[in-house]
Structure 1
Amino acid sequence: MSELSRELKLDPALAAQDGSANGQPPALRPDVAATSDEYENRQTYLQGARLHLTTAALSLCLFLTNLEIPIVVTALVDITNQLGGFSESNWVVSAYLLGYAGILIIVAKLSDIFGRKPVLLVMVLVFVVFSGACGASQSIRQLIIFRSFQGIGGAGNYAVSMVVILELVPSHKYAMYTSAISIVYSLSLLLGPILGGAIAERSAWRWIFLLNVPAGLVVVVVIFFSIPNGFPHHAKPPHERPNLGRVFSSDSIKRLDHLGTALLLLATVFLVSALEEAGKHYPWKSAFIITFLIISGLSWIAFFIWERRVTLQGNVREPVFPWRFVQSRVWIGMLLNALFLGAPWFCAAFQLPQRLQIVNSLSPLDAGVRFIPFTLAAPLGTAFAPIVAKMAKIPPIYLVLLAAILQVVGLALISTLPNTREVIPAQYGYEIIAGFGCGINITLLLLMAPFSVQERDKAVAMGSVAQFRVMGGAIGLAIITAAFNGLVMQRLSNFLSNDQLSELLLYPGTITSYPSPIQDAIRNTFADGYTLQIKILAGLAAGQIPATLLMWQKNQIMV
């Protein structure tokens, strides 16, 4: 079959590519089989118990993979008190994000080629196996390595699950369905810090990872039996749809963009690794950091040149990142928006619970509870935005702009918190503002993606938005960690010896072993470091404002 195209409110650049700009309906062109409506009329959607079981399994997939970020942050102090390496603790989160950021687009494209079901099953099993390995880690470096592979499985779960969810229902139900699924997804952020704190305080931190094993195996069983082979093409004649017997055929292998995949991995991994290590183990001007940044820069350039060539050639090989995305101003704005959203979304969830534990001397569980305003506001934002956009017929771009402003205001207010052990009530209001803004854009950018591209690009489009958001989180975390370490290490060295400083950065629990005046000085130094981080996050969040304006067009996307 020829490739499908959407007759929706497209950017003029995209409209020109599918022929609609010159007044020729896409359905009448020989290289386009049908409009979105005609395509959906041919679809056979899952019904009844099968639909509900599949939805529940995919929701659990999204819940578990996202839970792995916030559930760890409140337990990091406890983990490093046992394994050591508090100065490396950011890598426990970054390694997961790095695995995520490197392959989201790639896995989305693999699911186009090999089918949704087999790719999803493999990714869930990878996530389960390395969750068990994380729980068995005996050192901080082992945990970091296993976390990166766990992140690969998590990325696959997320990328394929989000595509399948939107293939379960026709497009006029996307807003309501995305809103419901986003609530489940965002609830993981709400429960993560509390569960992580409770497990670290009442049990062994290893259960944070081991609990994924039985839950993940349940998902595998449900997906295996509830999703038809060849989904979403299961109603087509056998010779036209992918199935398990043809997944690894030579024709499928030929469709893979091997070089594009390798270049994307290189570009992402070397960039994040350089930012993580800069200013900590290696100076910014060191040969190590410069080499990594050069490799990343050259890989990005080569990646886009190669993807342009593959897209324009139009042969059997399918680009992992279609060049038509780069040609669209709207899509450039959408990807930049996702990139700048990643930092406040992930980094606030990482830094604020740590600040509550170290500066405010709270237990992991108490820190998780005090973080609830942020984590509760986020799912409310994810539920609120699609419903308002759909019911009130408001172009989502207006809400995206509002959400960016809310993030900047909320984070700027958080940066004014005093360096005291007491948690002031105003902090909860600041968290609500920032969390609500993040929640709105988390769901709206994903919801807008399938309405702004051709049918053939839907999976890659959603994977791209998710990948740029996670990549923004990993890059943002690396930037604020470098800034934090630079400030804190310089100031602490003024009144701590090198041995004391090394011990404190390995085991933060040793703060209580110092006399009260020294404890206060240490906590004030850490507080200043966290304040600097939040100011940087506010600046990165502000990047969403010009990115949103870049998405502006005469006929706005409607959902």
Structure 2
Amino acid sequence: MSTEPDTTSTSSPAPGEGAMPHRHVMIVYFGLLLAMLMATLDSSIVATALPTIVGDLGGLSSIAWVGAAYILASSAVMPLAGKLGDLLGRKQVFVVSTVVFLAGSAACGAAQTMGQLIAFRVLQGIGAGGVMAAMFALTGDLFGPRERAKYQGYSAGVFALSAVGGPIAGGFFAEHVTWRWVFYVNLPIGAAALVLVALYLRGARRPERPRIDYLGMLLLSGALVCLVLLTNWAGSTYAWGSPTTVGLAVGGVALLVGWVVVERSAAEPVIPLGLFRDSTFDICNAVAFVGGLTGFGLVFFLPLYLQISAGAGATNSGLLLLPMMFGLMLASFGVGGAVAKSGRYKWYPAASMLVSAVAAFLMSTMTADTSRFLSGLYMFLLGVGAGLSQQVVVVAVQNAAPRADLGAATSTVTFSRMLGTSFGVSIFATVLTSRLTHEIPTYVPDGAANGIAANGGISPEALRRLPDTVRHGLAQAYAHALSPVFLIAGFVLLAGLAAAVFLKDITLEQRGWGAEEPPEAPSAPAHAAPQSS
């Protein structure tokens, strides 16, 4: 195996450290996949168990915070954890984050009140943000530029597995065991990941004490908290023009401006501003944001179509999403192998935006009478579109960024996708609610379902108890109200396509430092400008 370093590498092996055997590299990578399964599963497994949790602990008014607390904490921590990995070593960040996540999981399982559960979900989210940031950056450490696309594709497969299996597992635990196992199930998975990574990942010594940008971290964390709260509350909990929404928007912008000012003179900025001078970094973040906003944002609304317009049950609607997840996995694996073979990735993000746009426009034509085959085909196309770029943007950013900034660059593009998802859910929910106020009176003239349907709060069971005329009217109303949601997503994807076509045409090196050097070598100053490709 060649020992020629990656063109993005700015450092040399740590003194006294040898190469990691390939067997150890694969053991560590398997541990990282387990950690990813644990962190992503926890964002989906809780939803189906929430009614049971509320029945046991009470606190119905706080139910939304069980999920929001986790997302808020993990989103705010992720960019910070990426930078700490660059400074202190990604192995250290991974180990500490995993321990924090497991402690939070055990505490959530033992919670006696809703307040305790929400507080422990914050602890879980902090651990999850660190685990995800370290996991993606470590994958970039372990493998050369071309290999990264293939292995990042496997990560996409784990995500698809957790997205489908999480709700099913959550319902099973709540119904047949106890809801507390929704959290306890993390303990054996996380323990296995922790042991594999701690034993087999070789970390390098840090000869100098790093200078940590505490003020920059504080300002960025505050800005991210404002942005995530804004995307979760605007249009649902609070009106878009309410003082709370406006205050979060103004506060977020002010904190971001303050962060930029501080970072210009920081010795070790959280996200080096020089990264934004590289068009590859900017375009990949834009594509990740658009992909999160449309692809994963729409996932929250497809069950509404399947359950209310298409008449599927709750469990069956989850199974009907399988074509989308299959398309995502198929495209991710295929693109990973193709990039590993050719070293070229330029047109995959553009293809991703185009295929996803076609899928979204096709979905905008769905009605209550659309066949399961056609709706499944459209969802398959949406999954293919997401899979064409999900790992490519990470690989492209890792290839463009200096090795000293690999963790910060990787966590930034991952956060962009998460922020896009939050924005998508918020914007699409506002559009759906607005359209329902017009569509329901049109298809249910007597207003029989207005009270329970205007906010999207009708269950499949309640729907089946309604008279046939009301049920059919609601099915048509929801289908027509969702049509503009898909239509808007299609136009957003076209904007993403316009950006993606300007991605640089770069050939990845056949081999990088991967397993030939220890993944935790001392690095050059983290504020160095990215190398131009």
Question: Shorter chain as normaliser: what TM range?
Answer: 0.7 to 0.9
The one-character-per-residue Cα deviations of 1:215-274 (angstroms, maximum 9, x if unpaired) are: 22332333333334xx1x25xxxxx558xxxxxxxx44xx11112111212222212312
Q: Is 1:418 aligned to 2:367, yes or no? A: yes
User: Counterpart in 2 of 1:407?
Assistant: 356
User: Counterpart in 1 of 2:429?
Assistant: 481
Are the counterparts in 2 of residues 105 and 320 from structure 1 also a CA contact under 8 Å?
yes
C-alpha change, 1:416 and 1:468, in structure 2 (3 Å) is same
Deviation at 1:318, TM superposition (A): 0.9
User: Counterpart in 2 of 1:158?
Assistant: 132
Are the counterparts in 2 of residues 84 and 506 from structure 1 also a CA contact under 8 Å?
no
Deviation at 1:302, TM superposition (A): 1.8
Deviation at 1:205, TM superposition (A): 5.0
User: Counterpart in 2 of 1:215?
Assistant: 189
Correspondence list, 1:420-435, <5 A: 420=369, 423-435=371-383
Are the counterparts in 2 of residues 98 and 471 from structure 1 also a CA contact under 8 Å?
no
Correspondence list, 1:111-510, <5 A: 111-135=85-109, 146-171=120-145, 173-196=147-170, 198-199=172-173, 204-228=178-202, 231=203, 233=204, 240-241=206-207, 251-252=209-210, 255-310=211-266, 317-393=267-343, 395-420=344-369, 423-488=371-436, 495=447, 505=457, 509-510=461-462
TM-score where L is the length of structure 1: 0.78
The one-character-per-residue Cα deviations of 1:391-411 (angstroms, maximum 9, x if unpaired) are: 234x21111111111111112
The one-character-per-residue Cα deviations of 1:24-45 (angstroms, maximum 9, x if unpaired) are: xxxxxxxxxx767x65999633
C-alpha change, 1:101 and 1:460, in structure 2 (3 Å) is same
Give the Cα separation in 2 of the matches to 1:343 and 1:295: 22
Give the Cα separation in 2 of the matches to 1:337 and 1:201: 40
2:469 to 496, 514, 517: 517
SS at match of 2:20: coil
TM-score where L is the length of structure 2: 0.82
Give the Cα separation in 2 of the matches to 1:513 and 1:92: 29
Deviation at 1:465, TM superposition (A): 1.0
Matching residue's letter, 1:446: V
Q: Is 1:552 aligned to 2:504, yes or no? A: yes
SS at match of 2:330: helix
SS at match of 1:399: helix
C-alpha change, 1:48 and 1:39, in structure 2 (3 Å) is closer
Deviation at 1:95, TM superposition (A): 4.2
Unpaired runs of 5+ in structure 2? Answer: 511-533
Give the Cα separation in 2 of the matches to 1:131 and 1:327: 40
Give the Cα separation in 1 of the matches to 2:488 and 2:46: 23
User: Counterpart in 2 of 1:543?
Assistant: 495
Are the counterparts in 1 of residues 144 and 509 from structure 2 also a CA contact under 8 Å?
no
Give the Cα separation in 2 of the matches to 1:437 and 1:388: 16
Give the Cα separation in 1 of the matches to 2:472 and 2:448: 13
Give the Cα separation in 1 of the matches to 2:56 and 2:509: 51
Matching residue's letter, 1:398: W
Unpaired runs of 5+ in structure 1? Answer: 9-33, 235-239, 243-250, 311-316
Give the Cα separation in 1 of the matches to 2:110 and 2:430: 29
1:106 to 80, 91, 94: 80
C-alpha change, 1:134 and 1:508, in structure 2 (3 Å) is farther
Give the Cα separation in 1 of the matches to 2:287 and 2:67: 22
User: Counterpart in 2 of 1:19?
Assistant: none
Are the counterparts in 1 of residues 44 and 163 from structure 2 also a CA contact under 8 Å?
yes
Give the Cα separation in 2 of the matches to 1:85 and 1:278: 23
Deviation at 1:106, TM superposition (A): 0.6
Q: Which moved more, 1:531-540 or 1:494-503?
A: 494-503
The one-character-per-residue Cα deviations of 1:172-202 (angstroms, maximum 9, x if unpaired) are: 5434433444434443334335444555666
Are the counterparts in 2 of residues 190 and 372 from structure 1 also a CA contact under 8 Å?
yes
Are the counterparts in 2 of residues 276 and 482 from structure 1 also a CA contact under 8 Å?
no
Give the Cα separation in 2 of the matches to 1:490 and 1:80: 33
C-alpha change, 1:192 and 1:491, in structure 2 (3 Å) is same
Are the counterparts in 1 of residues 6 and 144 from structure 2 also a CA contact under 8 Å?
no
SS at match of 1:425: helix
The one-character-per-residue Cα deviations of 1:111-142 (angstroms, maximum 9, x if unpaired) are: 22222223212211222233345456678776
Are the counterparts in 2 of residues 96 and 147 from structure 1 also a CA contact under 8 Å?
yes
Structural RMSD (CA):
3.6
Deviation at 1:558, TM superposition (A): 6.3
Matching residue's letter, 2:391: T
Q: Which moved more, 1:113-122 or 1:286-295?
A: 113-122
C-alpha change, 1:345 and 1:399, in structure 2 (3 Å) is same
C-alpha change, 1:425 and 1:372, in structure 2 (3 Å) is same
Identity of aligned residues (%): 24
**How many residues matched?**
502
